[in-house]
Amino acid sequence: MIVRVGNMYCEKSRHNVAEALKIVDLLPVEIYLGGVVLPSGIDEAKLEELDELLRKSGMSILSNPTDVLTDSIKMHAWNFVHFPEDPVVKFSVYLVQKMGYTYNYLSNVFSDVEGMSVTAFLNALKVELARDMILGGRSFKEIARKLNYANLSHLSFLFKKATGETMSQYKKGTAESRPFEK
């Protein structure tokens, strides 16, 4: 039995799913990013208990095909930002290659479910990763290069739009709020 798990994009979330499965006493056949394979015949009460635990970690069991498709788009966006395969490929092309649907279809489904465009979601992921890299001490140029921006000004614009402060202000503010980590 395949159980799709929403918001399961990294090894930490995979670990959280494994722990939740132990707590509800379910032995998985396989745990992979985005889901779990369980033996057949699991009762509904166990799955509901698992879903409750997953929700505490920001994840959930997905049963609606539209939610599964939307979560797959999110997972591919996360992978595209964190583990770029080919920085020259546009995300729309990457997504079509990975999912086998037209970008227009995927974009419409995503917007209907999430209330934001795929591009807005991708930009939010990039800004989140930029924040982490700033905290990690990376230079702004290095961050722009890692996130596949041709120039720093585009990233700077998106960062300020999303956070309300420039990258320099963010860096200065985090340094001041974390004096013992310098």
pLDDT digits (tens, 9 = 90+) for 30-50: 999 899 999 998 989 999 999
Is residue 76 exposed (0-12), middle (13-18) or buried (19+ Cβ within 10 Å)?
buried
Residues of the domain holding 152? 64-182
104 phi/psi in degrees, rounded to 5: -60, -45
Asked if 136 and 79 sit in the same domain, the reply is yes
Q: How many CA atoms lie within 13 A of 17 on its CB side?
A: 26
Total number of domains constituting the chain: 2
Q: pTM of the predicted model, to two decimals?
A: 0.81
pLDDT at 87: 64
Asked if 40 and 69 sit in the same domain, the reply is no
Asked if 80 and 46 sit in the same domain, the reply is no
Asked if 54 and 84 sit in the same domain, the reply is no
Asked if 57 and 141 sit in the same domain, the reply is no
Asked if 100 and 119 sit in the same domain, the reply is yes
Asked if 98 and 109 sit in the same domain, the reply is yes
pLDDT at 179: 41
Here the tokens at position 123 are 């930009």
CATH code at position 113: 1.10.10.60
Asked if 25 and 114 sit in the same domain, the reply is no
pLDDT digits (tens, 9 = 90+) for 72-97: 999 999 999 988 877 678 999 999 99
pLDDT digits (tens, 9 = 90+) for 106-135: 999 999 999 999 999 999 999 999 999 999
Asked if 52 and 99 sit in the same domain, the reply is no
